[in-house]
Chain A
Amino acid sequence: MAEGYVEYRGLKKNFGATPVLHGIDLKIDEGAFVVLVGPSGCGKSTLLRMTAGLEGITDGDIKIAGQVVNRVHASNRGIAMVFQSYALYPHMSVNENLGFSLKMRKTPLERIADAIKGAAGILKLSPLLERLPAQLSGGQRQRVAMGRALVREPAVFLFDEPLSNLDAKLRVEMRAEIKALHQRLETTTIYVTHDQIEAMTMADTVVVMHDGRIEQVGAPLEIYDRPENLFVADFLGSPAMNLMDGKVVATDFPDQPRAVEVAPGVLLPIPGGAEAEPGQDVVYGIRPEHVTLVAADVGEPVTMTLVEPAGWETHLHADLAGLTLRILSVERVGARPGDQVGILIDPERVHLFDRGTGRRL
């Protein structure tokens, strides 16, 4: 396995007496687009800032391109960062903003001019070079922030929730632009966001973080299809996965020797390969899009409680013996609240988690 381009070894961080990161180990390959995703306060921004050199390290190492950079100053680490608030210098023109870092390194003027021209060309900023940040739109400012990073030709790009300040439509546009940029330049990128959709659509590798720890690392679809623990299962997916407490029981059915009882008398199927023993307390997980609606007498009986047609899909809530089930259907559904319908669950799509540890079974 090749040595990671960015590597975290046993990384810990305390703010005063409060531990924020509890030992992060991660290897990031060269040229990868890695997204750190997680709820507020999980430590992803802290990790990013430590990578940049804006926060100190309490314990552990950070390596960039094979060199330990713990003590290296932020401007010498070969990184460039795009901030959530863009952090453009408001009194400098776009041109000056782009060239600032090179000026600080005393790069010769022609090189600066060339680099600016190159970056401006890629990001379509050329007509805006003499403007001030105050005269630019949100999307344009975003691009200047990226241009500023681009100009430095860094080894690693760091993005700190750059799209949070944009409206929905612009966000979608910029997502595509950032991804296209990455494909063109193939620079290693670490991208922090709390939005799982950004994570899923942009990443080569997703790192789910929670409470200062890494919960799972993998390709987007991998993590989506096989969450390793409860947190990841619940975090990814919109609407969220249905999670119900239950107990494993033995059954009489020959092709389904085990099932999970989620409510008295309600037995739901489980995948064949699950390592679960009868009597075990588990959490039963099934994604809304994997629940099929059928006639009331064919599947498990449920009562509709909420029907929300959203145009291309329909969100439904159903009552299963007192538990609320979220269902996602890509077909128009004629059911109405109060109707009795049936559901079918594909056993191979079921996720089982040990109730105590939250780990996948």
Chain B
Amino acid sequence: MATLASRREISAIGQPPSLLDELLRRFGRVILIGIPLAFLVIWTMVPIVWALLASLKDPLEIYESTTFLPRDPSLRAYWIVLGMDGFGKWLFNSILVTLVATIVPLILSILAAYAFAKYLFPFRHVLLLMYLIPRIIPRVSLIVPLNDLMTDLGLINTYWVLYITYIASAVPLATWILVGFFKAVPKEIEESATIDGANMWNRLRYVILPIAWPGVVTAAVLCIREGWNEFAFVLALVTETGMRTLPYALYMLRDSMGVQDYAVYNAFTILTVLPLLVVYLLLERRVVESIVSGAVK
């Protein structure tokens, strides 16, 4: 009977580690984590913070080479932006379009996702594919045919054209997210509700949605984001100044508005970004969790 344990490892019991190893062990963690972490923070925040600082500076100060911080910070630029002719209209446009582009897709997606998650009906795989494949299409590429199509339909420069295109773009993503969350609701709870006499609408309202709430929030936030930040469609389908949304207005600020006051330029940027950031920060936890758990792809 040969024993496998030949005690070979006794001689392999090594010497205690060297001084360098000790140092690395003590401080390694701090260095290895701390430096990339600092880099992460700087990399993420510099562009935003820089624009913020620039918006508080005197216009000529921006060209000076030696100052990071504003010498005499003032909100002057912001007042100018807020008082700008059309700013209110653009803000209103953005809000309106975003609201429609969030609420309608959510409704459509909730209904569709519920069907896909809970019903076993013929062709459901194919139909689901038809919902999800459009995610492959780059939005930008569609501006050519859409412009042509919408011109023919006479919808250029209307709210409707933005509604339609935004809704169509948002539904695939929202459906994908919601199907995942709806499927995760345990079957037994729904069956129990059915026995209690709940019909489909009741089940949706009292069982599925409350439990899958994080998914709805995530889908909503992402729809809001798409609606608020979208640019290419507006560029292609809207030409009137009064119909612009904020990103488009920001873009045009450089050229057609002839703005030389760079503090104002930056203030405008910050103001376009701020509302969405606030929404994000309020709901940040849900969104981050969802992405990390793989529900959003």
Question: Which residues on the A side are within 8 Å of B7 (C-beta)?
Answer: 153, 155
Task: Tell me if A219 counts as interface (CB < 8 A to partner B).
Answer: no
| Docked complex Cα distance between A128 and B259 (Å) | 73
CB <8 Å contact, A154 and B9: yes
A186 is contacted by which of B5, B13, B16 (Cβ under 8 Å)?
B5
Give the interface size bracket for A toward B: 20 to 34
Cα A76 to Cα B21 in complex, Å, equals: 14
Complex Cα spacing A223 to B135, Å? 68
Asked if A64 meets B16 with Cβ closer than 8 Å, knowing A185-B3, A186-B3, the reply is no
Q: Which of A65-73, A196-204, A269-277, A279-287 contacts B (4 or more CB under 8 A)?
A: A65-73
Residues from chain A with Cβ under 8 Å of B186 in the complex: none
Q: Which of A70, A73, A76, A150 contacts B4 (CB 8 A)?
A: A150
Give Cα A187–Cα B17 distance, bound, in whole angstroms: 27
Q: Are A153 and B13 in contact (CB under 8 A)?
A: no
Residues of A within 8 A of B4 (CB): 118-119, 122, 150, 153, 185
- Judge if A184 is at the interface, Cβ distance under 8 Å: yes
Cβ contact within 8 Å between B12 and A78: yes
Flag if B13 contacts A76 (CB, 8 Å).
yes
- B40 part of interface (Cβ distance < 8 Å): no
Is the Cβ of B17 less than 8 Å from the Cβ of A78? no
Q: In the complex, A77→B12 CA distance in Å?
A: 7
A67 engages B13 (CB within 8 Å): yes
What residues on B are CB-neighbors of A122 within 8 Å? Answer: 4
CB-nearest residue of chain B to A151: B4
Q: Does B1 contact A (CB under 8 A)?
A: yes
- Is A148 in contact with chain B by the CB < 8 A criterion? no
Q: Which residues of B contact A187 (CB under 8 A)?
A: 5
How does the 8 Å CB contact mask read for B7-30 relative to A, with 1 for contact and 0 for none?
111101111110000000000000
Confirm or deny: A143 has a beta carbon within 8 angstroms of a beta carbon on chain B: no
Is B13 touching A64 in the complex (CB atoms < 8 A)?
Answer: yes
Task: Tell me if A44 counts as interface (CB < 8 A to partner B).
Answer: no
CB of B40, distance to nearest CB on chain A (Å): 26
Contact: B13 with A72, CB < 8 Å? yes
Q: Which residue of A lies closest to B8 (CB)?
A: A153
The answer on a CB contact under 8 Å between A76 and B5 is no
Residues from chain A with a CB closer than 8 A to the CB of B65 are none
- A76 to B14, Cβ gap below 8 A? yes
Residues from chain B with a CB closer than 8 A to the CB of A67 are 13
> Within 8 Å of chain A (Cβ to Cβ): is B199?
no
- If A118-B4, A153-B4 touch, does A78 touch B9 (CB 8 Å cutoff)? yes
Quick check: is B6 within 8 A (CB to CB) of the other chain? yes
Q: Are B13 and A184 in contact (CB under 8 A)?
A: no
Name B2's closest neighbour in chain A (CB-CB): A118
Interface residues of A (CB under 8 A from B): 64-65, 67, 69-73, 76-78, 118-119, 122, 150, 152-155, 184-187
25 A–B contacts from the bound complex (CB under 8 Å): A65-B13, A67-B13, A70-B16, A71-B16, A71-B17, A72-B13, A73-B14, A73-B17, A76-B13, A77-B13, A77-B14, A78-B9, A78-B10, A118-B4, A119-B4, A122-B4, A150-B4, A152-B9, A153-B4, A153-B6, A153-B7, A155-B7, A155-B9, A155-B13, A184-B3
